[in-house]
Amino acid sequence: MYHGERFNSISHLIGSAAALAGTSFPIDREMTAKALEFERPCANSMDAVSDRDFALEFCGAASILMMHLSRLSEELILWSSADFDFISLSDAFCTGSSIMPQKKNPDVPELVRGKTGRVYGNLISLLTVMKALPLAYNKDMQEDKEPLFDTIDTVKGSLKIFADMIAQLSVKADNMRQAAARGFSTATDVADYVVRKGIPFRDAHEIVGKTVRYCIEQDKDIPELSLEEFRSFSEHIDEDIYDYVTLDASVNARRATGGTARQAVQQEIARARRERAKRG
């Protein structure tokens, strides 16, 4: 049902409570609710005409949704920049720069990020309309429709274009792998390794600190260290250390639900697909 029709249906349901305290005519509000595909009529007729909680709740949920889209937009903007170069957005969702001919602007993520403020504004607008109204219907409530309808249109449009954009996004996996390997990203895995050997985490933290400092001085990464170099920091380190400190080993060690291991990610993908299938 088109959202305007749906809103009118809500208004009709509210109207069946009359303007304030119900009606003396023999109406069947349960039948009306069923006909309009609602769970039930509002139990209190004054409550039915004096609030817009359904609109506020929708705008609140929409604001949270747009906040997440905005955060994802920021990631995509960063990832598509020359400094990161993790992804490439399709030209269909970008434009050229007005002054830099070599530049491709990530229009859709920037616009969606900006639309988030619009949805926030609609929520605040509606909250402000309702904040000091006495009980029962007030003409102020006519101001509910514009922010509600605009929120619906903005969210639907943002989700639609975002889905199309993600489907055409290209991932530069090699660049991502190189970035993930920088910055001694497997240092935590060294700490976890020596903890498993019976070393208290406080001592493990010190061992890793010395290891990283040595790597910086020698211009090496952790997986490049020899066993002799590793053992200079702790005699508890054995040859199996190399099973833990590579990038792939680090990623796949996090097997818990929601972790980064390939198996855990595949399980989450399968779960998401099942949820999507349930919703049709």
User: What CATH number does the domain containing 235 carry?
Assistant: 1.10.40.30
Calculate mean pLDDT across residues 115-143. Answer: 93
3-class SS letters over the chain:
CCHHHHHHHHHHHHHCCCCCCCCCCCCCHHHHHHHCCCCCCCCCHHHHHHCCHHHHHHHHHHHHHHHHHHHHHHHHHHHCCCCCCCEECCHHHCEECCCCCCCEECHHHHHHHHHHHHHHHHHHHHHHHHCCCCCCCCHHHHHHHHHHHHHHHHHHHHHHHHHHHHHCCEECHHHHHHHHHCCCCCHHHHHHHHHHCCCCHHHHHHHHHHHHHHHHHHCCCHHHCCHHHHHCCCCCCCHHHHHCCCHHHHHHCCCCCCCCCHHHHHHHHHHHHHHHHHHC
Please write the tens of the pLDDT for every residue from 237-248.
999 999 999 999
Q: Are residues 168 and 61 located together in one domain of the fold?
A: yes
From 145, 174, 203, the end of a domain falls on 174
Say whether pLDDT at 12 is over 50: no
Instruction: State whether 70 and 170 are in the same domain.
Output: yes
Residue 161 lies in a domain: yes
| 97 is a domain residue | yes
Q: What is the pLDDT of residues 49-84, one digit of tens each?
A: 888 999 999 999 999 999 999 999 999 999 999 999
If you average pLDDT over residues 199-222, what whole number do you get?
95
Beta-strand pair 170-171/87-88: antiparallel
The answer to whether position 268 is within a domain reads: no
Residue range(s) defining the domain that contains residue 22 = 3-50
Is the confidence at residue 252, as pLDDT, over 80?
A: yes
Give the predicted TM-score (pTM) of the model: 0.82
| Mean pLDDT across the chain | 90
Provide the domain count of the chain. Answer: 3
Instruction: Give the per-residue pLDDT at 279.
Output: 87
Asked if the structure places residue 266 within a domain, the reply is: no
Residue 128 lies in a domain: yes
User: Same structural domain for residues 104 and 168?
Assistant: yes
- What are the tokens at 263? 């198996």
Q: Which residue has the higher pLDDT, 276 or 16?
A: 276
